Amino acid sequence: MTDVCGRYAPTPSGRLHLGNARTALLSWLWARSLRGRYVMRVEDLDPGRSRAEHERDQLADLRWLGLDWDEGPDVGGAHGPYRQSERGEHYAAALARLHTFECTCTRRELREATFAPHGREPVYPGTCREGVSHPERPRAIRWHTPPGVMELHDAIQGPQREDVEREAGQFVLRRADGAWAYQLAVVVDDAAMGVTHVLRGADLLHSTARQVLLQRTLGLPTPAHAHVPLVVGPDGEKLGKRHGAPDLTALREGGADPQRVVAALARSVGLVGASVVRVRARALVADFDVTRIPGHDTALESTDVQ
């Protein structure tokens, strides 16, 4: 086994859909093709949305697909705990090393102050940098983001460049309700667990520059990154229930053939030919090349997995 380490980090707030399954499969293939370790980490930072039953089903679904892991909440390991809800002391130690300030602004106030459309994260205008605007409110903790342009290369999406201070602003590291922010937690955990290769969905590409900047500021290594495209239906929209797409638990409990599911996921990104209808995940390891994955959204017929 090499020093390579990959990971998959699901949020136990619901069932895994086919897009989640494909990302997990590709992440596992990348690590295993490089003869690396693989870590399963549960990103349950939000106690209001995370459920133990979702975690149980997600792990069962991934094993049903043919994936395995060397470390995780159900198998243990040298770098635990593997649930983010149990790693608060690690995040607190990292936070203490950063130049931060408290903020009492609400999301609505920030959207109105920056004219950001609903659903889109506004760039923080600096309201509380010199002192909180509403002392009676709970306080989030934001980072005094240092200036500078982050440049990095994504194995699938190619060169990326972002001025984090200008484009993301002084982003939150700990929420006003006490929950740790994803950006800080993922950086701390990847370093602590020795993760060297991160493959995840393209919807998280916008987070990468912030995480790289945090890594460099904290003196932590930066993993290699690969962001896979979305899985879409025949109409070009993100694959979902309206396309008749079942979730993994429904497939598993309904008696679906996991090798048929793996083949459909592999076909959608060109890992196998159109004639392949059944394949074991392990059989894809030897020929896997992350650079073969297309950077654009790819279609998947929900009937292919049923």
The span from the CA of 45 to the CA of 21, in Å, is 21
The span from the CA of 116 to the CA of 95, in Å, is 28
238 has catalytic annotation? no
Cα→Cα distances 294→65, 209, 229, 245, Å: 22, 21, 7, 22
Residue of 35, 166, 241, 280 marked active site: 241
Angle subtended at Cα 160 by Cα 155 and Cα 162, rounded to the nearest 5 degrees: 150
What amino acid positions are annotated as catalytic residues?
241
